Chain A
Amino acid sequence: MLNELVKHGLRFIGLILVQGLILKNMEVGFMINPFLYVLFVILLPFELPAWIGLILAFLLGFFVDLFYGTMGMHMAACTLMGWARPAVLRFMMPRDGYEFGQQPTMQDMGRMWFLSYAAILIFIHHFLLFYIEIFSFREVGMTLLRILISTIATLLLVVVTQFLFYRAPQRT
């Protein structure tokens, strides 16, 4: 339990720093902005009470906003994402529920499940974030294109971290 707490805490801090100090300044081309830090919300454990997840997402957004100097934008997007997470989990629940001790990772839940789960949450987050950033209806189509492209970029990074940080499944 304590071990888990430390792991999630380190991930919280680590992802904020990676986002604020490295990814923010990366210019990938064609206005792609990956927001890897949402991985923290994606990987929150199944059994975590929904309201704690919501508040954690809110705090995550707050710290990222500090780095971007955009007070409120990431907070709003993360809060929406934290609110949608339990619903998405319910929607994607396997027939006999989630097993105890399972984590929402690619290794535990399989590729298809993880990809669709992560893609939905990332899209929700990016959708609100990019439209708040524009805050007008002038560039609607262009922004939608950016949202889709950045969602794919973030998803790609999320998958890469899954391969980097988790060992091969230990199935017996």
Chain B
Amino acid sequence: MGGKCLPLVQEMTLLLEVKNLHASYSARTGEVCPALSGINFELGPGEILGVLGESGSGKSTLAASLLQLLPASGKIRQGSILFEGKNLLKASPQDLRKIRGGRIGLIFQEPSSSLHPTLRIGQQVSDVLAAHMSLDRGALNEKTSQLLASVFSVDAERISRSYPHKLSGGQRQRVLIAQAIACGPSLVIADEPTASLDPTTQKEILQLFRTLRQNLGLAMILITHNPALLAGFADRILVLYAGRVAEIGPAAKVLSSPQHPYTVALLRCLPTDFDEDQNARRTRLHVIPGDPPDLSSLESGCRFESRCTERMEVCKCDEPAAAAVSKLHEVSCFKFAG
């Protein structure tokens, strides 16, 4: 079970094309904080893109922006989001509502609070179906049972009648997945779907995603801060830092031979596999010196410059553009420019 890299053949119609996306938040004091600056990426049908980013990188803003679910203080300033050929940013509110849940499924963080506390699970799944399909009550119930049975191997009936507070974290996450795939979308965006779960459940959820992709041909954008999660799961990885794309390329390449200094430093922070090196136990781990930049008061130049071990003079003045280091692998760093 390897991490296959689906070749992005030019002839294949792209499912999603994000071009030059800029989004920002305005604080009550009037300060504008650019959460996303110039995001570019593409996604083909059935492909899994892993978005790797830490707190403050803009990953949740990216998830929210794709479906224009930013809070009141957020705004998309620039750019285009082409989904199945249509620009989502220019879509009418009715079209947008049909796409949300209908063509693009969304799994937010925090399974514990993403479900309504006083409605039964079956009801909440039915509501999603009812919002996009006109089915009679019988057909609705039938489809709900089928959906829950596809994510819960046992006990789907009992879960359908239960309330969220009676379910474990893993079970709630499965319900969110059921809601996201209910209407047969072609893309699912999952924002930290396994963050609060323990390892066995994490593994089960990832396996569920794999099965769904296999059976339904789902494309996925999986947003996480844990690189290890994407190993063997994602086809391509996009590394986000301070609202910009640091690196994007085939998952295997990005994880085994990262090019951007941030990616290199991030992957070095992980504790080494104890099988590999017994002597590395209880020693200092590599860290990335400094802190992520304060986006409300950005200076010119590369955003990673102050923490970069390979910085050059030019890094202080300009922001690097994306440069190709190999086929399908791009890095935004002056090391590779020109």
A and B: interacting chains: no
Q: Which residues of B contact A (CB under 8 A)?
A: none
Q: Which residues of A contact B (CB under 8 A)?
A: none
